[in-house]
Structure 1
Amino acid sequence: MIVEQRTYTLQIGAIAAYRDLYLAEGYPVQAKILGEPLGYYVTEVGPQNQVVHLWRYESFEDRETRRTALFQDQDWISYIKKAAPLVVAQENRILKPLL
C-alpha cells in the first residue's frame, strides 16, 4: 500500500471557492475513479491557504492506472481548467508504510 499526499497552495482568500468548485465538480469524478480519500484538510498552523489531501493506492501501478483514467475523464479535465486559476503551487509526496 502507498499513500499519496497532495498539497495545493491556493490564492489568498480562495479556499471557499476552491472547496465549492471541488465538491460540485471535482470530488464526484475523483470518488468514482480514485475512491474515497483518506482525508481532505486545510492548514490551520504553518503555511496558510493550503489544502492537503491523502489518497490510498494498493501500489504504484494502481496509482498510475487510476490517475491515467482520471485524466481521460472529460469532466475532470473541465474541472481542472476551472480550478487551475485558484492554485499557486502544488506538491505531491508518495508515502509508504514504515511498519
Structure 2
Amino acid sequence: MIPLVRPAAARSLAPASSRRSLSVIQSLLHGSPEAREHETLQHSRLVGRGKYVHGFDIHRVKPDKTEEYKAAAEKYYLGVKNDPALGTKLTGNWEVVVGEQDTFIHILEFDGYEKIRDLHVTSRVGCIFLFAFLPTAPPHAEGGIFELRSYQLKPGTLLEWENTWRKGIEARRKFVAPVGAWFSQVGRLHQVHHLWQYPSLEVRKELREQAWQIDGWAETVSKTSQLTKFMDAFVLRPLPFSPLQ
C-alpha cells in the first residue's frame, strides 16, 4: 500500500528547486509582501506629486473640552507653522460640524519625511500624498463650509481609481473646484481623501444634483464605487487660524 502523505509533508519532502518554483507561482498568483509593497510604491510615484508630503491629524476631543482644545490647537499649530527649523506649512484646520461631533482635522505640508519625524509632539494619524493632477488650493477666505470625503479602497486599486476619477472630475469642475485630493502613504493605507468648499449646505446639494446631469460623472461614480470598500463624509467649519477659510 502506498502511504498517504499530508500536503504539508509533501511540500517538505519536495526538492528545493520545486519549493522555489511553488513560491514563485504563489507570488505571481497572490503577490508576495515584497511585491505588494513595490506595487504600492510604484503607484505612489505614478499618481503623486513627488516631494509633497502632508500630515493628516484627526483629534477626537471630550465634549466639555472643545473650547480649551481650540485654544491649545491654535497655539500649537501656529507655533509649528512659524518655526523655520521645522520646514512645515499649515494647509488647513477644521472642526467637524456634520458627522462625528467634537472632532478636529488638521492638514500640514512637510518638506520631506525627515521633517515629519522631527514633529513628534502630537499623534499623527497618517502621511498623505497629493495627487499629481490636483494641487491643493492656496490659502484663501471664500467663506462657507468644507466637505471632506474619505474612501477606503480595495488593495491594489489606487491607480485604477485615480485614472477613473481624474477623467470624471472635469464634470464636477463645471460647478465647483476641489480644494485638494490626497492618498495615504503611511498609517491606514489604500485611503483616498478629497476636500471641497461650498457657500452653504443648500448650495452643496444643488451643485451635486447638477453634476449628475453632466455626461461622465455618473459613470465615474459607478466605476469608483466598485473599487471602494467604504467611505465617510464630513462637513467641516474652518478654525479661525486656518489658512483655508
TM-score normalised per structure 1: 0.89
- Map of 2:209 onto structure 1: 68
Q: Which runs of 5+ in 2 are unaligned?
A: 1-143, 241-245
Q: Shift of residue 53 of structure 1?
A: 0.4
AA matched with 1:33:
F
Q: Which runs of 5+ in 1 are unaligned?
A: none
Mapping of residues 73-84 of structure 1, within 5 Å? 73-84=214-225
Q: Shift of residue 73 of structure 1?
A: 2.8
TM-score normalised per structure 2: 0.38
Q: Shift of residue 20 of structure 1?
A: 0.9
Of all paired residues, the percent bearing the same amino acid is: 30
- Map of 1:12 onto structure 2: 155
Moved more, 81-90 or 6-15: 81-90
Q: Shift of residue 97 of structure 1?
A: 2.5
Once the two structures are superposed, residues 10-56 of structure 1 have per-residue CA deviations (whole angstroms, 9 ceiling, x without a partner) of: 110100111011112x111111122x211100012221101000001
Once the two structures are superposed, residues 60-97 of structure 1 have per-residue CA deviations (whole angstroms, 9 ceiling, x without a partner) of: 11111111112233421122122221111110000012
RMSD: 1.3
Of 35, 39, 46, the residue aligned with 2:180 is 39
Q: Is 1:97 the counterpart of 2:238 in the alignment?
A: yes
User: Is the 2:150–2:233 contact (alpha carbons within 8 Å) kept by the matching residues of 1?
Assistant: yes
Residues in 1 aligned to 2:238 and 2:162: alpha-carbon distance in whole angstroms: 29
- Map of 2:172 onto structure 1: 30
Of 15, 25, 48, the residue aligned with 2:189 is 48
Higher gyration radius (CA):
2
Residues in 2 aligned to 1:11 and 1:46: alpha-carbon distance in whole angstroms: 15
Say which structure is richer in helix: 1
- Flag as ranges the 4+ runs of structure 1 deviating above 4 A: none
Residues in 2 aligned to 1:98 and 1:22: alpha-carbon distance in whole angstroms: 29
Q: Shift of residue 98 of structure 1?
A: 2.8
Residues in 1 aligned to 2:236 and 2:205: alpha-carbon distance in whole angstroms: 15
Residues in 2 aligned to 1:33 and 1:43: alpha-carbon distance in whole angstroms: 27
